[in-house]
Structure 1
Amino acid sequence: MRLDTPTLFLMTVVVTFMVGVLFLLSWGQARRTRALAIWGVAHLGGAGASALLCLRNTIPDSLSVGLGNAMMLGAYGLIWSGVRAFEGRKPAYLMALSGGALWAMACLVPAFYGSLAMRIMLASAVAGLFCALCAAEIWRGRHEPLASRWSAIVLMAAYALLYWVRVPLAALAPLPAATRSQDSPWLAVLCFAGVLFTVAIAFVFMALTKERAELKQRLAAETDSLTGLANRRAFVGRTQAHLAGRTRPVALILFDLDYFKAINDTYGHAVGDGVLVAFGHAANAVLPKGALLGRMGGEEFACVLVGGDAEDATRAAEQVRATIGRIALAAYPRLRIRVSAGVAATRPGETGCFDDLMRRADSALYGAKDAGRDRVVTAAAMPEALAA
């Protein structure tokens, strides 16, 4: 089946324009996601570039070949800038437009402008470079768990490879001098592939923005608004997951700030909130790597250590207690912050539920309170009745 290049160009114009409008409409509903606006402008520019290329031999070559390709390369650069914005980096607009500027300057050289092979090689190299840079930017943000991230990386890398394959082909299999560029089968294939990639990019980039919005909502629902720690719901869920699938011991520490009501009554709730925030920051700074700290409510916090036994948890709790005791506020010289802690832990091979571990840690915490506060008490080993 023979692909009709003019028809494919027209389809490219229509599809790219619609994708650009879709991005801008999405940005209108999510103004904080600047990447959507950049992608929208890039695709509208790409649609304009495709329209100029489609009119080759109808309008002057300076517009179709010169301006059209410069706009197309600028559109690819803007897509890359949009990816940078999506990943939280500053868009590089000047760098994005440098590909189009390079093309415009090269077209001023008669030897370059008169060689179809050289034009194909430069345009393909620059477009492929921007696609590869998009893949690299998305790869750099792989720490963010978005399901469509790997699809985007593969898609942009494949698009870069498609362009770069044209570079050696243009040199090794150039078109006959009498052949019009529109009659090139490679141009038809590239147009068809461009339409497919444009649609795929739209779906994947839209999916990325949607997944990020959902992730932020989920994190907000699992985060204590004051301290930024995991809230009770999130902490319990994660701890239960560790207990259900564990092969290593799990230790739980319950912290309770001593005389916190007196702090609120004496200094006000603003200072009390500051104490809660300070505890969260200080405790996180000294707890072992991988420890999960959460706020259970009020002045009570909890920490789970996976792979740590009761002795490890007791040492960690003592370090937190000592660190909190050294906090001094110049504005409130008489304010002292103290914390009591209760520790409970499982043993390797034991199974139990969160409620059992919580009950034992809570009992140990009450023991610390009854013994005079500002201390750490460890619960006895889990009873055999709780073992599987």
Structure 2
Amino acid sequence: MEQFLHLPTIMVVYALGTLVVAVISLGIWWRDRSNRAFAVLGLASVAGIVGAVLHGLRLVVPFWLSTGLGFPLAFAGIGLFWSAFAVFDNRRPSYLAAFAGALLSLAIYPLSLFQDSTVFRAVFAAAVFGVYNGLAAWEVYRGGLREPLPFRPLACAINLGHALLWLARIPFALFVAPPVDAQEHYAVWFVGLSLLSALSNMFGMFSLAMLAKDRSERRYRIAAETDALTGLDNRRSFIARTEAMLARPDEATAMLLFDLDHFKSVNDTDGHLAGDRVLVAFSELLRRQMPENAVVARFGGEEFACLLPGAGLDEGRAIADAFRRAVERHLIPFEGRTLSITVSIGVAVIGEGTVTLDLLLASADTMLYLAKAEGRNCVRALQLPGAKAAAAGRGGASDQAGAISGRILHSRPA
């Protein structure tokens, strides 16, 4: 085995790989100082490299330097590695806990057991590295409860596997053979586990970069799919989601379109900051009042939309009117005074059967226009004639307009 696995070579390769991680991590942080996790990872890598090199030179340099200083630096590196995952998930790490392994190593250094027993040192190092890598796996898992990134399960598994590789050294050292004998020959198990640990350590370091990549992609996707001011879906995202729902022919569906009444006067009278505050307040109320399965979006300006899967004509109109009354009663605080608004709502409902989204939107828009023409602050609802309307809707916008027919319900403010 020794002719295939040479521990000093393994350590050199590990140190060079860790140096690459350090340079990349600190470079990422230097370009974007908000990436504090990479600054911590870079420091962890530097501490780990120095500690590993010092310990690797134990036959050349004094014991106090190779082990007395090398061990604490290596333990500080793995403690900072754990902290990097906490920082990545915007948690404040306990740096006292991160450096506990290093401090404990300094505290027990004078003991004869530490200085004379390679088995004790191997067990102690395995326990420290195993615990910190296990904590890193826990941080990744805990962060996934709040931000479920695609790479999290694998990153958690990598760090947990690394922890188990370190902890596996303990029974080998105690019950199989010492890691190093009196002639400075390395045990086969020690060399093999060192190789696996070096590889898993590299994967563990790169797992943070993969998580950062997932987060960036998620943020770009959210930015592309949501309205920046209100946090609701934007028009493109709403259309993509609702088209899939409308493909189910056995479910009634209601489309609600909202338009804030006299919104321009809010901007003209109170300013655009007041207008933004009104839009945000309206969005929050819309998100709270609509059923859990509803898809809500801001179409632009003061126009909003909502799809209610499973809602028939009476239910869709009732939900719309209840929301209209809630908006009418809602007072919006702004700079020491309150603002109030009303909303006009158009509702179009398809029963069993399919319908194109264009037709459903055009029908709801027609009802919205009717609500505004008849005095605003009211609901107008239309029942579309199901699959026949869908067939008519395939002919284009002019055919869709001609297909809008059915039973109209009126809801006026009390």
TM-score (normalizing by structure 1): 0.91
How many Å separate the matches in 2 of 1:186 and 1:384?
71
> Which sits farther off after the overlay, 308-317 or 207-216?
308-317
Alignment match, 1:347: 351
Alignment match, 1:65: 67
Q: Where in structure 2 are the equivalents of 1:377-388 lying within 5 Å?
A: 377-386=380-389
Alignment match, 2:284: 281
Q: Where in structure 2 are the equivalents of 1:52-131 lying within 5 Å?
A: 52-131=54-133
Is the alpha carbon distance of 1:297 and 1:147 closer, same or farther for their aligned partners in structure 2, counting shifts above 3 Å? same
Q: Where in structure 2 are the equivalents of 1:156-235 lying within 5 Å?
A: 156-175=159-178, 178-179=181-182, 183-235=186-238
> Which sits farther off after the overlay, 299-308 or 126-135?
299-308
Q: CA RMSD in A?
A: 2.4
CA offsets 1:255-278 (integer angstroms, 9 cap, x no match): 111121222233233222221111
How many Å separate the matches in 2 of 1:50 and 1:364?
73
* SS of residue matched to 1:82: helix
Contact 1:257 1:339 in 2 (8 A): yes
Is the alpha carbon distance of 1:377 and 1:332 closer, same or farther for their aligned partners in structure 2, counting shifts above 3 Å? farther
Is the alpha carbon distance of 1:9 and 1:138 closer, same or farther for their aligned partners in structure 2, counting shifts above 3 Å? same
Alignment match, 1:318: 321
CA offsets 1:94-133 (integer angstroms, 9 cap, x no match): 2111111122222232234433222222221221111111
From 339, 342, 345, give the equivalent of 1:338. Answer: 342
How many Å separate the matches in 2 of 1:261 and 1:22?
51
Alignment match, 1:135: 137
How many Å separate the matches in 2 of 1:127 and 1:167?
11
Opposite residue 221 of structure 2, the aligned amino acid is R
Opposite residue 376 of structure 2, the aligned amino acid is R
CA offsets 1:283-312 (integer angstroms, 9 cap, x no match): 212222243321101111112233444444
Q: Once the 2 structures are TM-superposed, how far is the Cα of residue 182 of structure 1 from its aligned partner?
A: 5.7
Contact 2:119 2:179 in 1 (8 A): no
Q: Once the 2 structures are TM-superposed, how far is the Cα of residue 344 of structure 1 from its aligned partner?
A: 2.5
Q: Once the 2 structures are TM-superposed, how far is the Cα of residue 158 of structure 1 from its aligned partner?
A: 0.8
Q: Gapped runs of 5+ residues in structure 2?
A: 392-414
Q: Does 1:271 align with 2:274?
A: yes
CA offsets 1:1-49 (integer angstroms, 9 cap, x no match): 4211122122222211121111111222332111111111111111111
Q: Once the 2 structures are TM-superposed, how far is the Cα of residue 77 of structure 1 from its aligned partner?
A: 1.1
* SS of residue matched to 2:243: helix
CA offsets 1:179-226 (integer angstroms, 9 cap, x no match): 356612233223312331233234332222122112212212222222
How many Å separate the matches in 2 of 1:189 and 1:176?
11
Contact 1:21 1:44 in 2 (8 A): no
Q: Once the 2 structures are TM-superposed, how far is the Cα of residue 71 of structure 1 from its aligned partner?
A: 1.4
* SS of residue matched to 1:26: helix
Q: Once the 2 structures are TM-superposed, how far is the Cα of residue 387 of structure 1 from its aligned partner?
A: 5.4
Alignment match, 1:26: 28
How many Å separate the matches in 2 of 1:132 and 1:380?
59
Alignment match, 1:328: 331
* SS of residue matched to 1:183: coil
CA offsets 1:292-346 (integer angstroms, 9 cap, x no match): 3211011111122334444443333233222211222566868531011122333
Higher relative CO (Cα under 8 Å, sequence separation at least 6) belongs to 1
Contact 1:250 1:307 in 2 (8 A): yes
How many Å separate the matches in 2 of 1:186 and 1:138?
29
Is the alpha carbon distance of 1:213 and 1:376 closer, same or farther for their aligned partners in structure 2, counting shifts above 3 Å? same
* SS of residue matched to 1:89: coil
* SS of residue matched to 2:171: helix
Is the alpha carbon distance of 1:250 and 1:383 closer, same or farther for their aligned partners in structure 2, counting shifts above 3 Å? closer
Q: Gapped runs of 5+ residues in structure 1?
A: none
Q: Once the 2 structures are TM-superposed, how far is the Cα of residue 386 of structure 1 from its aligned partner?
A: 4.0
How many Å separate the matches in 1 of 2:248 and 2:140?
32
Is the alpha carbon distance of 1:317 and 1:204 closer, same or farther for their aligned partners in structure 2, counting shifts above 3 Å? same
* SS of residue matched to 2:232: coil
From 299, 318, 329, give the equivalent of 1:296. Answer: 299
Contact 1:106 1:113 in 2 (8 A): no
Contact 2:28 2:35 in 1 (8 A): no
Alignment match, 2:400: none
Contact 1:15 1:195 in 2 (8 A): no
Contact 2:359 2:390 in 1 (8 A): no
Q: Once the 2 structures are TM-superposed, how far is the Cα of residue 148 of structure 1 from its aligned partner?
A: 1.8
User: What is the number of residues matched between the two proteins?
Assistant: 387
Is the alpha carbon distance of 1:334 and 1:228 closer, same or farther for their aligned partners in structure 2, counting shifts above 3 Å? closer
Is the alpha carbon distance of 1:379 and 1:6 closer, same or farther for their aligned partners in structure 2, counting shifts above 3 Å? same
- Identity among equivalent positions (%) equals 37
* SS of residue matched to 1:42: helix
Alignment match, 2:153: 150
Q: Once the 2 structures are TM-superposed, how far is the Cα of residue 79 of structure 1 from its aligned partner?
A: 0.9
How many Å separate the matches in 1 of 2:7 and 2:207?
27
Q: Does 1:39 align with 2:26?
A: no
* SS of residue matched to 1:239: helix
